Structure 1
Amino acid sequence: MLLNGDKFELIRYGRNEVLKNSTCYEYNNQPIEDKEHVKDLGVHMSSDATFSHHINKIAEAGKSMSGWVLRTFASRDGQCLKTLWKSLVLPRLEYCCQLWSPHKIQEITTLEAIQRAFTARIQEVQHLDYWERLSELKLYSLQRRRERYCILYVWKILEDRVPNVGIIVNQHPRKGRLCFIKGVQGSIQRVRTLTHNSFTHNGPRLFNCLPQELRDLSGTSPETFKRNLDKWLEGLPDHPPIPGYPSCHHNTLPEVLQEQEREETVGSTGTGGSRLQLCR
């Protein structure tokens, strides 16, 4: 097989500068150029092992496509813009999100702002704030959609529909099917944070949040699981983070369920209404 050496790219992980400087990779006696970011099957891999560069890239692509849609189509009808949003913009913001799903508030709000700005142009809901627009348009926040994709992928792994990337399942005699969540090893905090927020740790955490009847749903089609998952998600508050309101930054499924459990424990009626008025 003949290979094109001009297309070779080298990316190095880790902070061992001595090792980096003492190793050299060549092809046909020509050194392969070091890169900080390498695009692999549509995802930008970075030498710092984060996906910040990729998230910035897809945010730019999402803004560009969103602007093109609003410039090209004069209609501001809800059904029209929702169809254009789902078919043209969302695929650019969600491709392979199980791998790169952000955990930093700044990155979450950067992506969420694209949908927030787009839905504000829909005529029927212009007078509503973002949380209310999502409810009226029957849309998930981008944060909730990414969590949904992670849950779906874990379920497919457990059903042997896709290759297993290291998910371990335990069948509890009372609690049903649960994913084993590995302990985070290592003494370097940065590495621990990256590991904690990777798919092999975040996916099982999200899957274990599901009620037992959903976790135990097996031997059925992905469409059936999706319908049951969506029915459950519709009953949960979806209040994505908004810049300037640090108290509104708790929207992950584990946090939402913990908050509901606390409210049930103290007999509270909930504070969703007041938060809804604050975060616009």
Structure 2
Amino acid sequence: MTDIGVGVSDSLLTSFEDDTTVSLPTTSAEEVSCLQQDVDAVYATSNMQFNEEKFELLRHGHNQEIKEIMLHTEGGQGITPQPHFKCLGVQLSEHCSIQYHIGEAVKKARTFTSREPETLLILWRASVQPLLD
């Protein structure tokens, strides 16, 4: 199997288990084009099947021209921008805020129905605290 990063020239490519991320800070339409070329290069060199429904695109910034440019998968499906997505257990937001991440942890904590303090402490340490650390 070839190395998945071969052919990626401008973008940062990271892989962890079965997740691969191609990222590039963009300030112009030309840089968005470079990002699309790098996504295409990952397809060409990986010899793997990607689940196109799981593609996520996070855009940050005020440049509306760049936000309107659509990126596509190899099958021609558009990659829809998301307001936030999960990366290695942390919710990243288009506003560079951790409020969504904290909100998700609070929602999880509020689902605990037990009244015993010992049980609540165990649930907190196992489910919520790792999200906030």
Shorter-normalised TM-score: what interval? 0.5 to 0.7
1:143-200 Cα offsets, whole Å, 9 max, x none, are: xxxxxxxxxxxxxxxxxxxxxxxxxxxxxxxxxxxxxxxxxxxxxxxxxxxxxxxxxx
Match 1:69 to one of 91, 95, 114: 114
The answer as to 2:37 corresponding to 1:2 is: no
1:115-156 Cα offsets, whole Å, 9 max, x none, are: xxxxxxxxxxxxxxxxxxxxxxxxxxxxxxxxxxxxxxxxxx
Match 2:122 to one of 87, 103, 118: 87
Root mean square deviation of aligned Cα: 1.7
The answer as to 2:84 corresponding to 1:37 is: yes
Q: Is the 8 A contact 2:105 2:128 kept in 1?
A: yes
Q: Is the 8 A contact 2:72 2:79 kept in 1?
A: yes
CA distance in 2, matches of 1:88, 1:43: 19
CA distance in 2, matches of 1:2, 1:24: 22
Corresponding pairs, count: 85
Which residue is equivalent to 1:12?
59
CA distance in 2, matches of 1:43, 1:86: 22
Which residue is equivalent to 1:26?
72
CA distance in 1, matches of 2:127, 2:62: 32
Q: Is the 8 A contact 2:58 2:85 kept in 1?
A: yes
CA distance in 1, matches of 2:128, 2:102: 9
CA distance in 1, matches of 2:98, 2:49: 32
1:232-269 Cα offsets, whole Å, 9 max, x none, are: xxxxxxxxxxxxxxxxxxxxxxxxxxxxxxxxxxxxxx
Gaps of 5+ in 1: 71-75, 99-280
1:98-127 Cα offsets, whole Å, 9 max, x none, are: 4xxxxxxxxxxxxxxxxxxxxxxxxxxxxx
Higher radius of gyration, 1 or 2: 1
3-state SS of 2:126 partner: helix
Q: Is the 8 A contact 2:70 2:78 kept in 1?
A: yes
Match 1:48 to one of 86, 95, 98: 95
Which residue is equivalent to 1:136?
none
CA distance in 1, matches of 2:77, 2:70: 10
Instruction: Provide the TM-score with structure 2 as the length reference.
Output: 0.56
Gaps of 5+ in 2: 1-47
Identify, as 1 or 2, the structure richer in strand: 2
Q: Is the 8 A contact 2:102 2:132 kept in 1?
A: no
Which residue is equivalent to 1:114?
none
Instruction: Provide the TM-score with structure 1 as the length reference.
Output: 0.28
CA distance in 2, matches of 1:91, 1:43: 16
User: Matches of residues 220-231 of structure 1 in structure 2 within 5 Å?
Assistant: none
Q: Which moved more, 1:35-44 or 1:53-62?
A: 35-44
How far is 1:96 from its partner?
A: 4.6
Q: Is the 8 A contact 2:105 2:131 kept in 1?
A: no
More relative contact order, 1 or 2 (CA 8 Å, 6+ apart): 2
